[in-house]
């Protein structure tokens, strides 16, 4: 529990404050949080829906009776994952996308965003996690980042992605906490739902990119909102 309070809530909370200051200083809140126009729609909503279903599956697989100090642990984990969802999405699918669109074609913007998301997990190797496990986590994060990018484009707002990210992380951490080891971890619906979401995410990404850019590389992103107002 102390690890959650100090390692997640405090550390990520300070990072969130820094991101808020930077985003405000740059005047990037509007393009960071909102898309000038939605992309796709229809069946593409299956992607965030699958992530949500996967999170429910993780929670259903959690051995709640094995969790010590359940109430207080759930509280601090919920606060921590909410901060993670806010901070990581504001950085990677918010600020990074706005900055990337300043000079890159959209087909590279999502890559730039995903690479940053993956690299955020590299420091885990310095805190006891094995190198192989860290590399796998970086690749996994990049793949999941694709589904979050599609969710932003489909919903038209980063807020949906922030909430979804927080719910998913909470479900993964609470399930992992409730078992003694990977060998005891049940095969949950979460893993299957995430796999299907990634496959659909690739298809959706190709379709979205074919519709054209949100703005031309280096274009005025704030002016793009005025055109659709």
Which residues 6+ apart lie within 8 Å of 176 measured at CB? Answer: 185
Q: Is the pLDDT of residue 207 over 70?
A: yes
DSSP classification of residue 220: -
Placement of tokens 């930077």 in the chain? 22
**Mean pLDDT lowest among 8-12, 36-40, 126-130, 193-197:** 126-130
Q: Model-level pTM greater than 0.85?
A: yes
Q: Please, what is the Cα angle at 94 between 199 and 125, to 5 degrees? A: 70
Q: Which two tokens stand for residue 214?
A: 């949100």
Q: How far is CA 165 from CA 45, 55, 144, 221, in A?
A: 15, 10, 10, 25
Q: Is the pLDDT of residue 222 over 70?
A: yes
pLDDT at 150: 96
Name the nearest CA neighbour of 74 among 188, 178, 189, 180. 178
pLDDT at 186: 47
């Amino acid at each position: 529990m102390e690890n959650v309070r100090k390692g997640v809530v405090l550390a990520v909370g300070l990072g969130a404050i820094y991101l808020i200051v930077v985003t405000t200083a740059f005047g990037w809140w509007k393009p960071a949080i909102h898309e000038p126009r939605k992309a796709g729609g229809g069946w593409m909503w299956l992607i965030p829906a699958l992530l949500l279903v996967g999170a429910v599956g993780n929670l259903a697989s959690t051995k709640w009776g094995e969790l010590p100090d359940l109430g207080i642990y759930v509280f601090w984990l919920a606060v921590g994952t909410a901060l993670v969802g806010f901070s990581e999405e504001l950085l990677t699918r918010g600020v990074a996308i706005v900055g990337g669109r300043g000079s890159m074609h959209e087909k590279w913007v999502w890559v730039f965003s995903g690479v940053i998301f993956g690299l955020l997990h590299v420091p885990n190797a310095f805190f006891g996690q094995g190198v192989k496990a860290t590399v796998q986590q970086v690749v996994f994060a990049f793949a999941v980042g694709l589904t979050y990018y599609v969710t932003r484009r489909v919903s038209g707002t980063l807020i949906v992605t922030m909430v979804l990210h927080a719910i998913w992380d909470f479900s993964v951490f609470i399930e992992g906490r409730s078992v003694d080891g990977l060998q005891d971890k049940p095969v949950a619906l979460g893993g299957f739902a995430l796999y299907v979401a990634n496959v659909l995410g690739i298809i959706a990404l190709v379709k979205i990119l074919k519709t054209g850019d949100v703005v031309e590389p280096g274009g005025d992103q704030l002016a793009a909102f005025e055109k659709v107002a």
